[in-house]
Amino acid sequence: MSGAGGARRARWSELRAELGAAGFRPSRRLGQNFLLDDNLCRALVRDAGVEPGDFVLEVGCGLGFLTAHLCDAGARVLAVEVDPRLLELARREVGDDVGVRWLGADALAGKHRLGEELAAALPTAGPWRVVANLPYSISAPLLCLLAERELPPTTMSVLLQREVAERIVASPGEPDWGLLSIRLQVLYDARLGRTAAPALFWPRPRVESACVHLALRPAIPDAEQRRELAALAGGLLGRRRQGVGRVLGDLVGSRAAAEEALAAEGIDPRARAETLPLASLAALARSVAWRGKKLR
C-alpha cells in the first residue's frame, strides 16, 4: 500500500466522475469534506503514533484515502461510513485483505447516543485509538460520547473544524473555554496539531481545519463524578460574567450552602466561573454533591 499514493491521486478524477455518474453530491448537512492530500494523510497517521496491530476507529472514511495510510501503518481499522456509495468505493480502493472492517452505519443515534452498530463494534478490552477526518456536523458530540465510554479510547487524533479544535484545547479564562473543553479535558490531555487549508479538501470547506490530539490521563474521575462536573459547569458557565457565589447559590437553592462549598475549596465567591481551573471546578462539584445539594 505504501506505493499507492500516486495511484490514488491519479484515480481521483476517475472517482469523482464515478461519483457524479451515481448522482452523488457532497452533503453539507453531513459535513462531507474529503481529505485528498496524500502527504497530510500520511502525516496524520504518523502524528497519531499508530503502530502495527493497533485497533483504530475511523469515522467518516469517505473514499478511503486516510484508511489506506492506516493500513500502511499496520493498524486493524474499523472504518465507518454512513453513505453506502462512498463505503463501496472506499472498500474497492483499499481492498478487503488489509485488516479493515467496513461498517456502513450512522455513528450517532442523536446527540446523546452512539449508533447501536458502532457501539457494538467497539472494543470492550485493551487499548484502542481514534484517527479520523471527522465530519464537521458530528465532531463535538461524537468525541464526547467516545471519551465517556466505559472503555474510552487511549488516544484520539482527529481533524476537524479549527473553531471546534480551539474550543477543545482552550484554557480557563480564554474565550473558547467551555463545557466541551471541560468534558474532554477532565479525561484527556489535549493539544493542537497540524492545520489544514481548505484547498486540501473536496469540496473546499469555508473554514480552516486543525488536528487535535487527545491522550487519556492516567487517573480519571468515575462516571458519576463526571456527570456532576458537567452539570455544575454547564450551570455556572451559562451565566458568565457573574460571580460564582451568586450563580452557585441560585443553582443549589441556598446562598449559605454555596458559600460553604466555595470556602471549603478556597474559591473566592466573587470569581467568575470561566476563570476557575478545571481542578477547582471538579473539587467544587464533589463538594456540592457531598453536601447533598442537587443543581436546579
* Whether residue 124 sits in one domain with residue 236: no
Query: How many angstroms separate the Cα of 152 from the Cα of each of 122, 138, 215?
Result: 10, 18, 11
pLDDT at 293: 66
* Whether residue 198 sits in one domain with residue 111: yes
Q: Is the pLDDT of residue 144 over 50?
A: yes
* Whether residue 162 sits in one domain with residue 125: yes
Q: How many domains does the chain contain in total?
A: 2
Mean pLDDT for the stretch of residues 156-165: 97
Could you tell me if residue 51 is inside a domain? yes
* Whether residue 32 sits in one domain with residue 158: yes
Of 14-23, 67-76, 221-230, least confident by mean pLDDT is 14-23
What residues contact 127, with CB distance under 8 A and at least 6 apart? 54, 55, 154
Query: How many angstroms separate the Cα of 146 from the Cα of each of 13, 55, 103, 160, 252?
Result: 35, 14, 17, 16, 30
pLDDT at 291: 67
* Whether residue 186 sits in one domain with residue 50: yes
* Whether residue 200 sits in one domain with residue 88: yes
pLDDT in tens, 249-293: 999 999 999 999 999 999 999 999 999 999 999 999 999 887 666
* Whether residue 126 sits in one domain with residue 179: yes
Q: Looking at this protein, which amino acid is placed at residue 232?
A: L
* Whether residue 275 sits in one domain with residue 180: no
Q: Is the pLDDT of residue 3 over 50?
A: no
pLDDT in tens, 71-101: 999 999 999 999 998 999 899 889 877 789 9
* Whether residue 240 sits in one domain with residue 118: no
The average confidence (pLDDT) of the chain is: 91
* Whether residue 231 sits in one domain with residue 276: yes
pLDDT in tens, 198-212: 999 988 888 999 999
pLDDT at 208: 95
Domain residue limits at 212: 5-216
The Cα–Cα gap between 49 and 8 comes to 23
CATH code of the domain in which 202 resides: 3.40.50.150
* Whether residue 212 sits in one domain with residue 233: no
Written as nine digits, the cell of 192 is 493542537
Q: Where does residue 188 rank: exposed (0-12), middle (13-18), buried (19+ CB within 10 A)?
A: buried
Could you tell me if residue 296 is inside a domain? no
**Top-confidence residue, 238 or 13:** 238
* Whether residue 230 sits in one domain with residue 211: no
pLDDT at 41: 94
The Cα–Cα gap between 158 and 36 comes to 15
CA 118 to centroid of chain Cα atoms: 15
Last residue within a domain, chosen from 183, 216, 249: 216
